[in-house]
Copies of this chain bind each other. A is one copy, B any other.
Amino acid sequence: MTPEDGDAILRNYFAPWIQELGLAVEEVGERHATVRLPWSESLAREGGGLCGQAMMAAADTATVVAISAARGGFVPMTTVQQSTTFQRPVTGKDVLVHVRITKLGRTLAFCDITLIPDGATEPSAHATTVYTVLA
């Protein structure tokens, strides 16, 4: 799978509301993927910071790209559990969503996701996801 294949997954399988996030696949590998969440005023809450809901949504969505890449293409899957911590505010920066698959089982997949503002070294948020992979 190429980043372009990843972008096609983002276009074809996600809700219109998720597509408004403008996510773009930067990199896909055997057990990882990086997706860019572009800064947008439409994602800024009162005070100017990136809303946490966009970070949770990006982590979940990027997981689908990573698992698809690991399986060689899109497969139906559903989120079982997502746990997210919010560690630092983000203002005016894209966020890079780094997904690492820590277990790809026959039916369950586990991922570790670090969200880091572009150019920064410390995470704005950190998530773990558990997915059921249906095929």
Chain A positions within 8 Å of B, measured between CB atoms, are 12-18, 20-21, 40-47, 51-54, 56-57, 60-61, 76, 78-89, 102-103, 107-108, 110, 112, 122-123, 126, 128, 130, 132
Contact = CB atoms under 8 A, between A and B. Distances in A.
Copies in the complex: 4
Contact of A51 (B17, B41, B102): B17
B108 A126 contact: no
Nearest to A103: B87
Contacts of A20: 17, 20
B46 A57 contact: no
**Top 9 closest A-B pairs, CB basis?**
A53-B57, A83-B83, A87-B103, A13-B46, A16-B42, A15-B51, A15-B45, A81-B81, A52-B79
A76 B49 CA distance: 13
Most interface-central of A14, A17, A20, A79 (chain B CB within 10 A)? A17
Contact of A130 (B41, B44, B80): B80
